[in-house]
């Protein structure tokens, strides 16, 4: 009679959060064999949405940040007029609407659209991870497990958001972030794609991609290098795409 090896005991959420920062490999122990745990992705999703609300409040109520947003949108409209993508009359009307938008309305837009983007990133991002894992790593794990991987790794993104907010206050600029864009923060141009590229090369974003790769390799039962390589490729594809879609700030 073959002795059955018991499945690894499920980790507590606190241990997972600590491990994903200090020892990412350990954060995914038992994930492949364990039962589905929606809390692994639902809790970080909720916290991320709450943080979106906090960030929206900060950007709406801080006079410097708010003016930088207005200036950025004005510069974008000027650039669109120069390229013939918008008439001067349309730009003037848009500018008037922008100037008349109150703090409450600004916050509401930020929270609503920010929450929608976060949810899309979660569910569509996990879908691409699942497809990549299935095609490249030959993983048999389902979409739900890849959603859990994304959720676990997103604790890095939450930490990055907190650090970014601290840097913004320290440098008095909404363009300040833990990225190469720090070198040009004093003359950041929202219409310059190279500036956006530097901003997108966020160290926490790269860190999160690596952690996602570790999770992918654990789900597929492959070497760490395979999962990390897949995650880095997907991250590298996302960066220019986010700039093209004008999502990167």
Number of H helices, E strands in the chain: 10, 0
Q: How far apart are the first and last CA of the chain?
A: 61
| Mean pLDDT across the chain | 89
Sign of torsion, CA 89 81 105 64?
negative
The pLDDT, as a whole number, for residue 3 is 47
Q: Which residue is listed with tokens 């109520």?
A: 61
| Whole-number Å distance between alpha carbons of 59 and 67 | 9
> Is residue 6 very low, low, confident or very high in pLDDT (cuts 50, 70, 90)?
low
pTM: 0.87
The pLDDT, as a whole number, for residue 211 is 98
User: How many other C-beta atoms can be found within 10 angstroms of the C-beta atom of residue 44?
Assistant: 23
pLDDT digits (tens, 9 = 90+) for 193-229: 899 999 999 999 999 999 999 999 999 999 999 999 9
Mean pLDDT along residues 13-20: 92
Torsion of CA 145, 149, 155, 160, to 10 degrees: -140
| Residue 138, CB-side half-sphere exposure with 13 Å CA sphere | 3
What token pair was written down for 240? 């220019």
Torsion of CA 39, 49, 144, 224, to 10 degrees: -90
| Whole-number Å distance between alpha carbons of 61 and 113 | 18
Nearest to 159 by CA among 117, 214, 205: 205
Mean pLDDT along residues 157-166: 97
pLDDT digits (tens, 9 = 90+) for 26-70: 999 989 888 889 999 999 999 999 999 999 999 989 999 988 988
pLDDT digits (tens, 9 = 90+) for 98-130: 777 667 787 888 899 999 999 998 999 999 999
Q: Could you state, in order of their start, the residue ranges of all structural domains in the chain? A: 36-244
């Amino acid at each position: 009679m073959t002795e059955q090896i018991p499945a690894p005991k499920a980790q507590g959420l606190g241990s997972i959060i600590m491990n994903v920062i200090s020892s990412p490999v350990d954060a995914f122990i038992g994930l492949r064999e364990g039962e589905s745990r929606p809390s692994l992705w639902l809790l970080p999703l909720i916290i991320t949405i709450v943080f979106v609300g906090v960030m929206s409040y900060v950007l709406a109520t801080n006079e410097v940040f708010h003016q930088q947003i207005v200036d950025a949108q004005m510069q974008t409209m000027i650039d669109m007029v120069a390229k013939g993508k918008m008439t001067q009359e349309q730009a003037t009307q848009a500018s008037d609407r922008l100037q008349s938008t109150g703090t409450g309305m600004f916050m509401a837009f930020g929270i609503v659209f920010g929450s929608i983007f976060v949810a899309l990133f979660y569910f569509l991002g996990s879908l691409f991870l699942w497809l990549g894992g299935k095609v490249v790593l030959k993983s048999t794990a389902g979409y739900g497990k890849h959603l859990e991987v994304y959720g676990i790794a997103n604790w890095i993104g939450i930490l990055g958001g907190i650090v970014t907010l601290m840097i913004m206050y320290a440098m008095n600029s909404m363009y300040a972030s833990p990225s190469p864009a720090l070198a040009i923060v004093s003359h950041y141009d929202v219409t310059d794609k190279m500036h956006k590229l530097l901003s997108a090369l966020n160290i926490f974003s790269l860190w999160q991609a690596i952690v996602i790769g570790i999770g992918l390799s654990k789900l597929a039962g492959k070497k760490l290098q395979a999962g990390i390589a897949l995650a880095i490729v997907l991250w590298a594809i996302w960066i220019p795409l986010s700039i093209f879609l004008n999502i990167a700030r």
